[in-house]
């Protein structure tokens, strides 16, 4: 299948202050984004792709100087692909507080001349969507044909329909949830404690000390990664296979799964920032559109006007199918157009990133219905 090919990230600077959910105000901020395809004359074919915890604006294609740096959702987005860039103008944006170029903890705090570090305010899904709307204004997009996201990206798609009901026609909410469970928050808290307790964290001001809380971030990723996979897939992929064919009777890696988790943890620390990880887990924990409605999701979604496509994966225990069904039932209660697919896939939460034929067929079939 063809790719969008070589792409170039762009930067948009905003100097109108933004008031954040937690009470802080950012005087100015930058967003880094990429686009694929052409915006039509009516501006009616734009699709926003929202990223999950470790994702970025680099949704599809490659960079000229990094031909192996393929966008994280390249299997779904491109010419002739389920989200077809021959029909749609697709926008990927690095969220506020991120570590891929948008303003975040690594950026310089204008008040001190030093990196924000832990002084960067905690941002929420609502804040991300509010700044995405500024980018939409800048790009001349009055109304998205669709907003699409998986996991915490799906939360952003849902939030778009609540915060800007007249600015999104379709929302595709995949492998997501209307709120985290206590168990979800518990895993996030373990990850945060790993980072906060790393002696190299220095209260979040590690940039200026030229250290990185590698051990904490690595452990956070290892814990997180367990929740992205299913028990059955781990059993199938690793089982009790030994790394060196024998037990060490020590604390080296005996089993392949240990080796795999360490590898995933190490890989992650090479490109991700610990402060961004902390912020993002908090954004996840806080998301709960029903909170202002006494926990009633039906009332919370009453203001949505979009049509919805909701999908979950059979072995996803992080955001299980039950969580997606809650969204579907609340939308039905409000008489919204909604379709729901529960995809049989062994790969757990991470299934949403895989190139599964049926999954891509249903997403493609839904996008084919969206008028441009």
Partner 1 sequence: MTEIFGRFDFDVIAHWIVPGERVLDLGCGDGSLLKFLKVEKGIRGYGVDNDPDNVLAALRNGVNVLQFDLEKGLAGVDDDAFDHVIMSLSLQTVRHTVPLVKEMLRVGHEAVVSFPNFGHRSHREAIARGRMPVSESLPYQWYDSPNVRFFTIADFEALCAENGIEVREGLFFDEGRAVTEDPNLNADVALYRLGRG
Tell me whether residue 235 or residue 332 sits nearer to partner 1 (CB atom).
332
Which of these is catalytic: 151, 176, 307, 324?
A: 151
Tell the smallest beta-carbon distance from residue 309 to partner 1 (Å). Answer: 8
User: Three-state DSSP class for 231?
Assistant: helix
Gap between the Cα atoms of 127 and 18, Å rounded: 9
Distance of CA 181 to the CA centre of its chain: 18
Which of these is catalytic: 57, 58, 170, 349?
A: 349
E strand or H helix that includes residue 236: helix 231-237
Tell me whether residue 106 or residue 362 sits nearer to partner 1 (CB atom).
362
Residues 176/306/93/54 CA torsion (nearest 10 deg): 0
Tell me whether residue 33 or residue 88 sits nearer to partner 1 (CB atom).
88
Single out the residue of 139, 128, 141, 100 nearest to residue 26, CA to CA: 128
Which of these is catalytic: 316, 324, 350, 356?
A: 316
E strand or H helix that includes residue 93: strand 89-93
Would you call 21 a catalytic residue per the annotation?
A: no
Would you call 266 a catalytic residue per the annotation?
A: no
Tell me whether residue 63 or residue 293 sits nearer to partner 1 (CB atom).
293
Would you call 252 a catalytic residue per the annotation?
A: no
Tell the smallest beta-carbon distance from residue 59 to partner 1 (Å). Answer: 23
Contacts with partner 1, residue ranges (CB under 8 A)? 325-326, 328-329, 332-333, 335, 337-344, 358, 361-362, 365-366, 368-369
Tell me whether residue 131 or residue 345 sits nearer to partner 1 (CB atom).
345
Tell the smallest beta-carbon distance from residue 354 to partner 1 (Å). Answer: 16
Angle at 235 between CA 316 and CA 322, to 5 degrees: 15
Single out the residue of 154, 97, 78 nearest to residue 349, CA to CA: 154
Cβ atoms within 10 A of the Cβ of 264, count? 17
Gap between the Cα atoms of 175 and 159, Å rounded: 15
Tell me whether residue 264 or residue 339 sits nearer to partner 1 (CB atom).
339
Single out the residue of 207, 176, 177, 180 nearest to residue 191, CA to CA: 180
User: Three-state DSSP class for 161?
Assistant: helix
CB contact set of 199 (below 8 Å; sequence gap of 6+): none
Tell the smallest beta-carbon distance from residue 340 to partner 1 (Å). Answer: 5
Gap between the Cα atoms of 171 and 46, Å rounded: 12
User: Three-state DSSP class for 14?
Assistant: strand
Tell the smallest beta-carbon distance from residue 285 to partner 1 (Å). Answer: 25
Gap between the Cα atoms of 305 and 301, Å rounded: 9
Tell the smallest beta-carbon distance from residue 315 to partner 1 (Å). Answer: 15
Tell me whether residue 72 or residue 366 sits nearer to partner 1 (CB atom).
366
- Size of the chain in residues: 372
Tell the smallest beta-carbon distance from residue 146 to partner 1 (Å). Answer: 14
**Hey, which residues does 115 pair with through a beta bridge?**
108
Rounded to 5 degrees, φ, ψ at 23 are 105, -20
Catalytic site residues? 151, 316, 349
């Amino acid at each position: 299948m063809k790719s969008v090919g070589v792409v170039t990230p762009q930067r948009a600077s905003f100097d109108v202050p933004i008031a954040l959910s937690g009470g802080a105000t950012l005087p100015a901020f930058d967003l880094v984004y990429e686009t694929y395809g052409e915006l039509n004359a009516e501006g009616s074919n734009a699709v926003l792709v929202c990223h999950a915890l470790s994702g970025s604006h680099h949704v599809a294609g490659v960079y000229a100087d990094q031909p192996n740096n393929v966008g994280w959702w390249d299997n779904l987005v491109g010419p002739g692909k389920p989200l077809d860039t021959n029909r749609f103008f697709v926008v990927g944006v690095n969220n506020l507080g991120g570590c891929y170029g948008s303003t975040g903890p690594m950026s310089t705090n204008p008040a001190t001349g030093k990196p924000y570090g832990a002084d960067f305010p905690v941002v929420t899904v609502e804040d991300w969507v509010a700044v995405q709307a500024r980018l939409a204004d800048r790009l001349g997009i009055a109304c998205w044909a669709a907003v699409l996201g998986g996991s915490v990206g799906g939360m952003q798609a849902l939030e778009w329909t609540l915060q800007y009901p007249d600015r999104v026609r379709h929302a595709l909410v995949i492998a997501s949830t209307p709120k985290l469970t206590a168990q979800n928050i518990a895993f996030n808290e373990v990850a945060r404690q790993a980072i906060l307790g790393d002696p190299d964290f220095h209260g979040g001001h590690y940039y200026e000390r030229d250290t990185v809380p590698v051990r904490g971030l690595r452990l956070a990723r290892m814990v997180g990664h367990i929740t992205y996979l299913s028990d059955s897939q781990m059993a199938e992929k690793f089982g009790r296979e030994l790394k060196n064919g024998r037990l060490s009777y020590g604390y080296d890696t005996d089993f392949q799964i240990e080796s795999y988790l360490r590898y995933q943890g190490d890989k992650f620390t090479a490109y991700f920032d610990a402060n961004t990880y902390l912020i993002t887990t908090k954004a996840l924990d806080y998301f709960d559109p029903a909170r202002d409605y006494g926990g009633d999701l039906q009332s919370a979604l009453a203001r949505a006007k979009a049509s919805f496509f909701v999908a979950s994966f059979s072995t996803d225990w992080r955001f299980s199918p039950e969580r997606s069904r809650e969204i579907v039932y609340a939308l039905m209660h409000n008489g919204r157009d909604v379709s729901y697919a529960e995809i049989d896939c062994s790969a757990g939460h991470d299934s949403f990133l895989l190139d599964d034929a049926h999954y891509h067929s249903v997403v493609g079939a839904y996008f084919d219905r969206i008028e441009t």
